[in-house]
A and B are shown apart, each in its own frame.
Chain A
Amino acid sequence: MIHFEAVSKTFQRRPVLDAVDLTFAEGDKVALVGSNGAGKTTLIRCLLGEYNCYGKVSVSGLDPRAQRSRVLGRIGFVPQLPPPLKIPVGELINFTASVCGTDPAGMEDISGKLGLDVPSIRRQPFVKLSGGQKQKLLIGIALGRACDILVMDEPAANLDPESRQVFFRLLSECPPETVMLMSSHRLDEVASLVNRVVELDRGQVVLDDHVADRVDPAAVQQCTITLSRHEGALINALGEWGFRDMEDGTVWKGTVAGPDRLRFLGMVSRYAGLIRSLELKEGVA
C-alpha cells in the first residue's frame, strides 16, 4: 500500500534519510521510533508529499507530491507540535471538514469522546487552548474523517490517562485494514498499539521487526497497588493516573489502559522499593 523505494533526503548536504526502503501493507500498525534527528519527521513529510526527495514514495501507486489531493484525502495526520493557529476552533473544524469533504459533526463527536467540550470553546482561538485540548482536537479532526491511513507524531504525548484510554479505544475501532504510522521517541509509548516496529537512526532503517505480543487497544486493566509506606511523589503520580486511595494512603486502586501497561509499569518501577504488592487484572471494564 505504502512504498518507500531508496528514499533519500538531504538538508544542506547533510543526509537525513539515506536510501530508505520500506513497505507498509494494509493493517500494518507501525511504531516509527528513533532519537531526535533520526529522520522520523522527514519520512512522514515525504509520505505527506511535503518534501522533495530522491527515490520514490507511493501510496497505492499514487505519488503524494504529484497527486497530493487524492493521496492526502486518505491520510489523517496528527502533528507532534500543534500549529499556532489564531483562528477559532469552530473555524478550524469547518475548514478541515470542508477541504476533506466530510461532515464536521464527526470531528466534533470524536473530540467530544476524548473529553473536549467543543461547543464551549468553539469561538476560542486554537492557539489559546491547552496542550491537551489542542491534541484532542487534532486527533478528533484526524479520526473524524474517512481515511485509511493514520499518521501520528507522538499522538498521546499530551493526553491525560483517561483520554489516553479513550484514544486507544478509538484506534481499536478503526477498520482493521487501516494503516497506522505512529512516530515516537520512546517505544513504550506506542509498543502495545502496534504490530510492527521500525527504528530509524541517522536516516537509515536499523530495525524492522514484527511485534507478536499485542495488547487489545480497547482493553482496560484493574490495578491494585499496596505500598509499604506513604510516599508523596508516588502518591502524586498515582493520582495523575486516576488512582483512588482505599486505605490510609497505602492501598490504591485504578484502571490502566492495556496499551498503557508498559508505560504505567515504567512509572511504578521508579518506586520499586516502596511496592509491597501489585496486581493487574485483565478484562475488567
Chain B
Amino acid sequence: MMDKSPMNHLMLTARLDVTESIRAKWFIVYALVFGSVMVLLLGSGLTESRVMGFTGLSRTLTTYIQISMAILPIFILITTVRSVAGDREAGVFEYLLSLPVSLGAWYWGKLIGRFAIVFLPVLAAMLLSAVWAMVLGHGVPWAEFLFNVGLLVSLAWCFLGIGMLISSLARSPDVAQGVAFTVWLVLLLFLDLILLGAMVREQMPHQLIVLISLLNPMQVFRSASMMVFDPELVLMGPSAHVILDAFGRTGFLIYGFVYPALFGTFSAIAGFTVFRRGDLP
C-alpha cells in the first residue's frame, strides 16, 4: 500500500503539476523568453562593457532584473490564471478532485509545483549568466547574485499567489485573464516612473506617495533591486530619504524580500479559502 499522508499527496500533486506544465505550450514560450533575454544580454557584450561604473556581471544582472520586473509578473499571472481556470472549465478539476486527495494538499501542491515551474527558467537564465561570467574570467558577485535570486523568488511567489487568488475567484478563463491583466496594469501604473511620478509633480503628500510605493509589491521589488547597485537610491529622488530614514538600507533590503513574499502568501491563503468554500469544478 502507498503512503496516504497529506504531505505525500501534496508532493504528488506538485509533481503532477510540474509534469503537466512542462508539456504545455505556455511553458515553452515562457522558458524561451527568459532564456532569450539572457542570451541577448550576454551576446550584446553587456558583461564586458563599463557604464556608469558598473562592470561585469553586475551590469548584466541589473538589466536582467529590470527586464524581469517588466515581464515576470504578467507572464506568471496570465499563465497561472489561464491554465488553472482553463483546467477547471475543461473538466480536469472534476476528474482529479474526484480522487481522495485533500483540498489543502491539492491547492498547495499545485502552488508549489507551479512555483517550481515558473521559477526554473528564471533561475536557469541567471545561472547561465554566472557560468558565462566565469568562462570570460570575470568574477561573480555572489552576494549580489544570491540577493537578486532571492528578490526574484519573492516576486515570482507574490504574483503566483495573486494568480491563484484570481483563479479561485473567477469562474472562467476569460474573466480570470481580464482581472489578472487589470491587476498587473494597476500595479504597473503605480510604479515611481508612471503615476507616482505624476503624483509627485502634482505635489501630493509625500507620505501618501511613499505609502503607495511601499504597498505596491512591484515598486518594492524595483526599489530593493535598485538599492543593490544604488545604495542611496539617488535615482528615486526625495522619496528615497523617507524610505531610508524609516527602514535603513538593510531594513529595506529585508523588506524588499519579505513583503512581496508575504503579499503572495496572503493572496494564496485568501485564494485557498475561496477555493475550499466554493464549487470546485
- Contact partner of B2 (CB less than 8 A), chosen from A51, A82, A98, A151, is A98
User: With a CB–CB cut-off of 8 A, which chain A residues contact B94?
Assistant: 45, 50, 79, 83
Chain B 1-40 interface mask (CB, 8 Å, partner A; 1/0): 1111000110010011001100110000000000000000
- Contact partner of A95 (CB less than 8 A), chosen from B1, B12, B24, B103, is B12
Which of the listed residues A72, A99, A151 has the most CB atoms from chain B within 10 Å of its own CB? A99
CB distance from B68 to the nearest CB of A (A): 27
Indicate if the CB atoms of A98 and B281 lie closer than 8 Å. no
Known pairs A84-B90, A125-B23; A48 contacts B100 (CB<8 A): no
Known pairs A50-B281, A83-B94, A98-B12; A68 contacts B100 (CB<8 A): yes
Indicate if the CB atoms of A83 and B98 lie closer than 8 Å. no
- Contact partner of A100 (CB less than 8 A), chosen from B19, B24, B87, B99, is B99
Indicate if the CB atoms of A50 and B2 lie closer than 8 Å. no
**Of residues 70 to 101 in A, which have CB atoms within 8 Å of B's CB atoms?**
70-73, 75, 77, 79, 81-88, 91, 95-101
Residue of A nearest to B96 (CB): A83
Chain A 39-67 interface mask (CB, 8 Å, partner B; 1/0): 00000010011111000000000000000
Indicate if the CB atoms of B102 and A79 lie closer than 8 Å. no
Selecting from B71-79, B231-239, B259-267, B272-280, the interface stretch reads B272-280
In the complex, B101 has a CB within 8 A of chain A: yes
User: With a CB–CB cut-off of 8 A, which chain B residues contact A100?
Assistant: 99-100
In the complex, A269 has a CB within 8 A of chain B: no
User: Looking at chain A, what size class is its interface with the partner chain?
Assistant: 35 or more
- Contact partner of A69 (CB less than 8 A), chosen from B90, B95, B100, is B100
Indicate if the CB atoms of B100 and A83 lie closer than 8 Å. no
Indicate if the CB atoms of B90 and A72 lie closer than 8 Å. no
**Of residues 243 to 281 in B, which have CB atoms within 8 Å of A's CB atoms?**
277-281
In the complex, A23 has a CB within 8 A of chain B: no
In the complex, B185 has a CB within 8 A of chain A: no
In the complex, A102 has a CB within 8 A of chain B: yes
CB distance from A165 to the nearest CB of B (A): 26
CB distance from A136 to the nearest CB of B (A): 15
Indicate if the CB atoms of B95 and A50 lie closer than 8 Å. no
Indicate if the CB atoms of B98 and A48 lie closer than 8 Å. yes
Indicate if the CB atoms of B23 and A99 lie closer than 8 Å. no
**Of residues 158 to 189 in B, which have CB atoms within 8 Å of A's CB atoms?**
none
Indicate if the CB atoms of A83 and B277 lie closer than 8 Å. no
Measured CA separation A125–B2 after assembly (Å): 24
Known pairs A87-B20, A99-B12; A52 contacts B91 (CB<8 A): no
Indicate if the CB atoms of A50 and B98 lie closer than 8 Å. yes
Residue of B nearest to A46 (CB): B279
